[in-house]
């Protein structure tokens, strides 16, 4: 498996001594779990959206992004997921990594300091070069979408 160097920085190291670095939970995990850097418990009411701090920033190599994705356990067991999934941390962003969470469940959910709230996936990025044309090539599918092949 390819390993890519990523610079990581606790933004206020003295306040983050009790937090863990983002980490892969198994040898072949694609995503690193990240912990909440909240100062006090943060309740997410049903339908509520919160922005949860991580306490850190990163410097990614050019040509890469970090995707912020939900943790399956939070989503399935509690209905708590990443509101803009997948979120994107761009290579030129140097601010704090924060996670937008939404509670789609029927009961309030509390985020405590150090709780694993999301996962980060490092992914290569390419940029499109758009070429305006008068019409697009035809395909068998055509404009069919949004469930046109069945459920």
130 within a domain of the structure (yes/no): no
**8 Å CB contact between 11 and 57:** yes
pLDDT tens-digit series, residues 59-99: 999 999 999 999 999 999 999 999 999 999 999 999 999 99
Number of structural domains (the chain) is 1
Helix (H) or strand (E) holding 78: helix 72-78
15 within a domain of the structure (yes/no): yes
113 within a domain of the structure (yes/no): yes
Q: In the chain, which stretches have pLDDT less than 70?
A: 150-151
50 within a domain of the structure (yes/no): yes
Residue 77 sits in which domain range?
7-124
Q: Look at residue 142 in the predicted model and tell me its pLDDT.
A: 85
Q: Look at residue 150 in the predicted model and tell me its pLDDT.
A: 67
E strand intervals along the chain: 7-10, 23-24, 32-35, 42-44, 49-53, 56-59, 64-69, 80-82, 87-89, 98-103, 109-111, 116-124
Maximum Cα–Cα distance across the chain: 60
144 within a domain of the structure (yes/no): no
Q: Look at residue 16 in the predicted model and tell me its pLDDT.
A: 95
94 within a domain of the structure (yes/no): yes
Region class of 44: left (phi > 0), else alpha (psi between -120 and 50), else beta: beta
Sheet of strand 23-24: strand arrangement = 23-24, 32-35, 116-124, 64-69, 87-89
What residues does 1 pair with on adjacent strands?
A: none
Q: How many residues does the chain have?
A: 151
140 within a domain of the structure (yes/no): no
**8 Å CB contact between 52 and 114:** no
141 within a domain of the structure (yes/no): no
Q: Look at residue 65 in the predicted model and tell me its pLDDT.
A: 98
CB half-sphere exposure, 75, CA atoms < 13 A? 10
CATH of the domain at 14: 2.70.40.10
């Amino acid at each position: 498996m390819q390993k890519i160097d990523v610079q990581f920085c606790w933004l206020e190291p003295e306040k983050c001594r009790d937090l863990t670095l983002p980490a892969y939970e198994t040898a072949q995990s694609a995503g690193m779990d990240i912990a909440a850097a909240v100062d006090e418990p943060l309740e997410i009411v049903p339908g509520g959206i919160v922005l949860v701090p991580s306490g850190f920033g990163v410097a990614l190599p050019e040509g890469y992004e970090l995707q912020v994705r939900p943790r399956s356990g939070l989503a399935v067991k509690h209905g708590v997921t990443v509101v803009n999934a997948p979120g994107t941390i761009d290579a030129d962003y140097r601010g704090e990594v924060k996670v937008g969470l939404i509670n789609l469940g029927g009961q309030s959910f509390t985020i405590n300091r150090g709780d694993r709230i999301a996962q980060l996936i490092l992914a290569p990025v390419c940029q499109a070069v758009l070429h305006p044309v008068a019409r697009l090539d035809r395909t068998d599918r055509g404009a069919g979408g949004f469930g046109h092949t069945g459920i």
